[in-house]
Structure 1
Amino acid sequence: MATSRKIALLFAAENVNAIVGWIALLFVVRRMGASAIGEFSYALSLVGSFTFLAFLGFGMAHVKRVSEGLDLGKCIGTFLSIRLFLTSLMLFVFIFSYWAWTAILDKEIYDIQTPGLMLTVVLYYIAFCIIGVMPMTFSGLEQSARVAIPNIIGTTVRSLIFIAAAVMGLGVIWLARAYLIGILTVGLLSIWYFRDFPISKPDSKTFDSYKVYALPVAFASIFGVLRQYIDK
């Protein structure tokens, strides 16, 4: 596929996602009210502000090294190992912070009242971080369709659940479940495209090549995540 067609496909996918998402959001605001969106957005932002620990520039390093033609199996194995470790670190830091806030400081998170909402959002981000290994690999190989198609379908599924939750009055928890089901849909479709890709044992040489690229851009990655979530 020519570069111009790849760019056009990704651009079209982003626009479709934006339109479908906007329609779903409109249903939620009209049927459930701004308070429901506010509570859900706060939960997304609170947990999302910890996701910088799962990134640290290694995603960009993976795209770069795959595009350079390094051994694909070792690249995937190395990046998957890094992402699993960093996602575990993110989860540990979040749990510790939550425990310190509620148990040691004896505080509450008053803006989140729906039972199970926080847990569902945490599960969403865990899935998002791990599933992200596949589309980043496709991006490095310039396989735009394999990035765009799962995203469009996943966003559509999420938006349909949003609309159903709003129309049927299912509650805020189903907004979080919509995100979780949407990202799992992306994951299942991506696995289908990913099924024949090699995954080799990580080695220190490949890891060092990732680290050399990732560390200089880690600050930008951290700043980007915090800027996205910290003021919500």
Structure 2
Amino acid sequence: MSLHSFHLAQIPMREAVGALLGPPSASGLHHIEVLAGMQLGAPVVSPRRMQIRRLAVFAEWAEAAALEEFLARHPFGRRLGGGWHVRLEFLRRWGTVRELAHLPAEAERTDPAEPVVAVTLARMRLPELPRFLHWGRPVERQVRDHPETTLALAAMRPPRTVSTFSVWTSARAMTGMVFGRDDGDAARLHGKAMAERDRRDFHREFTTLRFRPLSEHGSWGGRSDFIPWVE
């Protein structure tokens, strides 16, 4: 089974723009998504909506050695190495994005008590963007402010690609949010947004991926302990 990784790094503007326009290639790199960071729930018109120098990178590797080589020797990889990343073992996939369609629907059952990482990736239908923002921003705030997330953020690459990334203290807490089992009015926000998506899809392609965190490296925002159980 391949290895996945998710990275956060502060990158000089020129290099960040270059990576957004032309993602890097390397031996053992199966797929990479380079995106500009975005604060969940931020106003639509705000510098927090697209933070070009604060890159979020999601990648699939043939093996750990390919990732290590990239971080040590590739110019863009060395930039990422100065930030934070988590290495991930794939567990489950819902929906389909072409580049990740080879992943099975379920590779392994999830222990409800273990920490999990969730990644969503979507290619937008641009005419549906106003509806997506209307229904999506309340869910962004719901995930961002959930007591069982240790890190939650969004990212984008114009014109069509959007993504979210969240670290949960347990799979049980994550599925509780998804299925509206939390307390309070906010518990129904995710379900309402999904019903609206089913009524008329916001996306050309969409997938949600679940991972088991394997190891955490570096720091982000002065922290290096986003994965609850990593020593």
**Could you say which TM-score interval applies, normalised by the shorter chain?**
under 0.3
TM norm structure 1: 0.25
Structure (1/2) with the larger helix percentage = 1
Structure (1/2) with the larger strand percentage = 2
TM norm structure 2: 0.25
RCO higher in structure (CA 8 A, sep ≥6): 1
Larger Rg: 1
